[in-house]
Structure 1
């Protein structure tokens, strides 16, 4: 049996997406995989656990545990509607000392394959963590921000939404304390900036299938030539066909976005499917389309024919 520890952090606003996320994880689990699931939440909220506690009843090859966070992040910088819960991942080595290596994932995610292979094959050795290249070096604004303002190599910036942490080394080298010091600064991309700053030179790059964001998806489809030398064609194919879908922009349970159909597919197959929520969402979107002006509809069709079919 392969025991895979994985951590999530959220508040009551994301309980349903968390249930869908974890359900997708369990739907794709191999028979010999057991997920030890940890949920981090603030001690100041009464986390709604009724649905979460049912997960081990639906899927027997897992357990769900909770770890509370104190007021460490109460005054931490918030931007773009992202709350202080985003910082909780920085305390994982202290909060979950029973594992030397552990996966963290956001919950605006759909898993499409078992994680035991990537977990067991990722040797961290003397690096602090592993993640997927953000490709921010391809965007001039991001490149300038990381190179000029944060003094980092923009070509090595990783996403913080799906990472594998070397908890033992992070603790022994005092990096968690460094995380806490950096929280005092108002970084534009919050925990992601902190992770890339504190772990500079000690980050391992993972294949893109471990964190397929909207932006990565777009580059792979429309500009694969820009990825030569970074990822192989097989790695790109694997990411598009079975990679972890990370909705780091628009959320599929709120509106249309890239790969929104994948989220709804897993929602429909999950034990948490609710017909009313499903129909309310799609009927509301149909109403939005019905209210569009004729010119707006023509523009949408034109864009589909010109851009969508390239």
Structure 2
């Protein structure tokens, strides 16, 4: 393991106002497990987070003795490239901030990037201490993408090999937890390579994650054990090994072995602990992992606000459940081409999961 050269760990988060309300829960989980041998510099890439939410974050973190929280407005980094950034569902422009971390922290050579929809269950300094001097990033396999490669319902195999350019059978890494060698990144001019590749692909299926997988060479990726980024809705612990794909079998095996050793829970997909019981929720989630998030939330000063927000969403969900015709999907040659989602007062039409038309309805 690499010994710390100094006593600081830099961590980057990125959020707009929609997700920022959940930052205190993530910070609480980091603080509760963090080694006291370090100071933690938290840089939040700010995509127009409101002052009220910033105040809530500050109030909740006021007793975190080893933490410093800074905000960096992302506009100066992304405005020039907004025409490239495709967004849909729960993904916003803030997800692309991963491309610009070397510019946001120009004097830092090593950093941890974390998505907001995480819960830290183990000392984050152990992740930071991994020696990546010979690597660009440390990242864990995206188990959900490995599963999609196996089933190949949307021609993931062809997309992965021909668009992303990964070797045959190799799934993407998940970009929600990254340990990044910024010095190596800068020397490779990787930010510009990411932007060029994004322009080339146009509409990557998993947005910036696809781009990062396309531009970072396999030999530059330190393979993190899955417990450092355990994607919660993969449901691999309930699947039997499948002989068709050895790589998929290895992922399943690792998930089975690590189910009780999770260091970071990643609440992937649009289903989160805070909306797990909504009308469109995926029932194939691990409910007890959501309970762990709420248990941590209960120790924050925003817990009451979160409960009120959850109650409002539940009321809205009940109204929608009584008025919607759910979601219709249209497949052509086993490829999902179109989707129509009926909301309370509108219909949204999707092409390849990208919203293309919204029509008001009255009923």
| TM-score over 0.5 (shorter chain) | yes
For residue 253 of structure 1, what is the aligned residue in structure 2?
274
Alignment of 1:270-289 (within 5 A): 270-274=300-304, 277=307, 281=311, 284=314
CA deviation vs aligned residue, 1:124-145 (integer Å, no higher than 9, x gap): 1232111101133343323332
- Greater helix share, structure number: 1
Alignment of 1:76-155 (within 5 A): 76-120=85-129, 122-135=130-143, 136-139=145-148, 140-141=151-152, 142-153=156-167, 154-155=169-170
Structure 2 residue 68 is matched with structure 1 residue 63: yes
Q: Aligned residue pairs: how many?
A: 285
Which segments of 5 or more consecutive residues in structure 1 lack a partner in the other structure? 293-310
Runs of 4+ in structure 1 over 4 Å off: 44-47, 224-233, 235-239
- CA change 1:230–1:195 in 2 (3 A) is same
- CA change 1:61–1:188 in 2 (3 A) is same
Which segments of 5 or more consecutive residues in structure 2 lack a partner in the other structure? 1-5, 278-284, 323-363
Q: How far apart are residue 237 of structure 1 and its match?
A: 4.3
Q: How far apart are residue 91 of structure 1 and its match?
A: 0.4
Alignment of 1:117-266 (within 5 A): 117-120=126-129, 122-135=130-143, 136-139=145-148, 140-141=151-152, 142-153=156-167, 154-184=169-199, 185-201=202-218, 202-216=220-234, 218-223=235-240, 229=250, 237-238=257-258, 240-249=260-269, 250-256=271-277, 257-258=285-286, 259-266=289-296
Q: How far apart are residue 2 of structure 1 and its match?
A: 4.0
Please give the TM-score of this superposition, normalised by the length of structure 1.
0.81
CA deviation vs aligned residue, 1:104-152 (integer Å, no higher than 9, x gap): 01001111111111210x2212321111011333433233321243221
Q: How far apart are residue 263 of structure 1 and its match?
A: 1.2
Please give the TM-score of this superposition, normalised by the length of structure 2.
0.70
Q: Which has the higher contact order (CA 8 A, sep 6+)?
A: 1
Distance in 1 (alpha carbons) for counterparts of 2:215 and 2:304:
43
- Greater strand share, structure number: 2
Structure 2 residue 36 is matched with structure 1 residue 36: no
CA RMSD of aligned residues (A): 2.9
Distance in 2 (alpha carbons) for counterparts of 1:190 and 1:283:
27
